[in-house]
Structures are given as structure tokens and as C-alpha cells.
Amino acid sequence: MRGFLLSCLLFTLLFGCKEKEAENIVIVEEDPLRYLALGDSYTIGESVEPEMRWPVQLTEKLRLGGFEIEDPRIIATTGWTTGDLLRAMDERLNNEKFDLVSVLIGVNNQYQGKSIEDYEEDLHEIFKRAIGHSKKGAAGVFALSIPDYGVTPFGASREEEIGKELDEFNEVFNDVAGQYNIKFFDITPISRRAREEPELIAEDDLHPSGDMYRQWVDLIYPKVVEIINTEI
């Protein structure tokens, strides 16, 4: 009998403890990724359906790649300059943090004849704030170059002049991004294919079509995955 009791006690100690250990296991679930897209008409997707906007297409491609990610938070409006974007960031963002932050801004600075010096000054402030809203700092921020609308029917009469000026703006854009160690993706060559491929232009004869935005996403997707997987 005494041996039987000892056996029961040993069984309880061994298996009872394991049961309590199992009860104390904590399963940690990661929150979905958050993505902030900053820009103008190219980011809000003027003249295309919402699902064809490039930040939305990028989000869907990431989901297909196995990432859990919220719908993008888009702060962008057709016609915005860098100054407009800075004001909107002040008004709409508090202390929120995001896993990804994209910046595509500047075409309206060029179109409205604003100085490239003011553009450069504003970019510094935009990138500083973008970094401040990134969970990974500069490592979580990326920029896309300004497309060349000179190849569209809208800009055709000034194609050479527009292309030259946008090259200058993009040179500044790339340089400032580099100063903050922010990845810069050059999608301008894709935009220039619209000269021979009219299906890359939206029905308004000015903005990119959903197909062009898809090509942007295909280009940047592998690098965006690298940004997500970067450990800080």
C-alpha cells in the first residue's frame, strides 16, 4: 500500500506540474504591419479605381506574399506640393508609428513653378517627419521618384522641358533621400514608356493607369520585403 501511495504521489508531481506549465504558456501574436503612404495625385491614384492605387496594390501583393498588413493609411491629395503635404502631416498625424512609410512628392512643385531650393528644404522636413513616424527609423522609409508626365497627351507640347525639369527635381529628391539613408526607387523610366504604350496612361490623359502602377509595384516589391524583414 505504501508503495502504491508513493507511486500516486510521483505521478501527481510529474504530470500535475506539466499540466500547470501548459496552462502558463503564453502565445504571442504579432500585430499586422502598418503602412503610411505620403504624396499627391500619384499616391492617391487620380483617375483610377481605389484598388488600383499603387499603395493598395503593394499592400495586396504583400498579403499574397504571406504578410499580414492593414489597409494603407494614405495622406495624399491631387495638386499637393511639399508644403501642402507638410501641413497635412501636422493636421492628421499625431504620434502614430508605422512599419512602412513611403514618400512620393514634388510634381506639383515643378508644375506650379516653385523653386527647386524650396523643394529641397521641404524634403528635409518631410523625411525627418517620415522617419519620426517609422518604427524602424530611416530603415522603414522609402521614396519613389517623380514620374514624367511630359510623355502624356497633357504634357506632350512641353515634353522636353518637363522631362528636363523633372530630372533636376528627381536628382534633388534622390540626393536628400540619400542623406537620410532612405531607399530611393526610380520609377521614372517606367513612366516614360507611356510615350509608346498609351495603355499606361489613365483616361484623363495625364495620370498613370492601374497597369503602370502595377509595374511600379512589381519593381519595388522585393526591396520593400527587404525593408520589412530588416532587423533593427
In a domain, 4, yes or no: no
User: pLDDT by residue (tens digit) across 138-170?
Assistant: 999 999 999 999 999 999 999 999 999 999 999
DSSP per-residue string spanning 13-62: HHHHHHHHHHHT--PPPPPPB-EEEEESHHHHTTTS-GGGSHHHHHHHHH
> Could you tell me if residue 19 is inside a domain?
no
How does pLDDT run across 62-97, given as a tens digit for each residue?
A: 999 999 999 999 999 999 999 999 999 999 999 999
Give the pLDDT band of residue 15 (cuts 50, 70, 90). Answer: very low
CATH number at residue 160: 3.40.50.1110
Q: What is the pLDDT of residue 197?
A: 98
**Grid cell for residue 203:** 483616361
Residues 184-204: tens digit of each pLDDT: 999 999 999 999 999 999 999
Structural domain range at position 190:
31-229
Q: Does residue 146 belong to any structural domain of this protein?
A: yes
Maximum Cα–Cα distance across the chain: 104
Domain-located, residue 197:
yes
Q: Is residue 226 within 8 Å of residue 60, measured between CB atoms?
A: no
> What total of structural domains would you count in the chain?
1
Q: Is residue 26 part of a domain?
A: no
Q: In this structure, is residue 2 part of a structural domain?
A: no
Q: What span, in angstroms and rounded, lies between the C-alpha atoms of 108 and 139?
A: 27
Answer yes or no: is 6 within a domain: no
Mean pLDDT for 128-136 is 98
